[in-house]
Amino acid sequence: MAGAGLRVGEAMAVSAKCVRGETLRVWQQMSLAPDPETGRYVTHLAPLKHRAEGDYRDIPIPKFLREKVKEHIAQHGTLSTPEAEEMLFRTKINTLMSVDNFRHHWDKAVGALKLAYTPHDLRHYFASTALHGGVALNEVSAWLGHKSIKTTVDIYGHLTQEASARMRRVMQEALSASPVATLPKAA
């Protein structure tokens, strides 16, 4: 989640097929819905938030994350069900990992460490780190899967305050070295 800016449901739906070279392609998320026969809520795969069936996001991922995925698969294998193939995360009884199940284990782990982080904080880390590093706001917005760039601006716009200083520097360098700046004045 920290390396790709995924929501919890998206992270729980990552499969080995999602890793495509230096890109993570996400097209589904874990969701809860009532079973038509029993009325009981069950975990199932659903389209991404704000997306239609078959839509996806491609997110550039660092070498570190690609290596961690390989290590995870080597150590834990994957889960294939009639609904999904090669899923990275599963429960102890080999069923799809629900968001609630993940949250239960997350809360236990961070509680034992006496920390106060939420899984969504990892998504914020991704966005904040990218923007602090100078990645364009519109690119970060697309990788986060926000419906509108306005959402990204409202949440993270304060992190782009250095843009004015960067612009001044870029224009200073461009104009001070340009032929336009050295043309003789007309008589």
Q: What share of the chain is helix, strand, coil (3-state, %, to 5)?
A: 45, 15, 35
CA dist., res. 8 & res. 4, Å (int): 11
Sort 96 into a burial class: Cβ within 10 Å, 0-12 / 13-18 / 19+: buried
Structure tokens at 148: 């509108």
Domain boundaries, the chain: 1-98, 117-187
3-state secondary structure of 47: strand
| Residue 179 reports pLDDT greater than 70 | no
Nearest to 4 by CA among 118, 145, 101, 98: 145
Give pLDDT, residue 4. Answer: 97
CB–CB of 31/42 below 8 Å?
no
Mean pLDDT of 143-147: 95
Give pLDDT, residue 64. Answer: 95
| Residue 121 reports pLDDT greater than 60 | yes
| Residue 157 reports pLDDT greater than 80 | yes
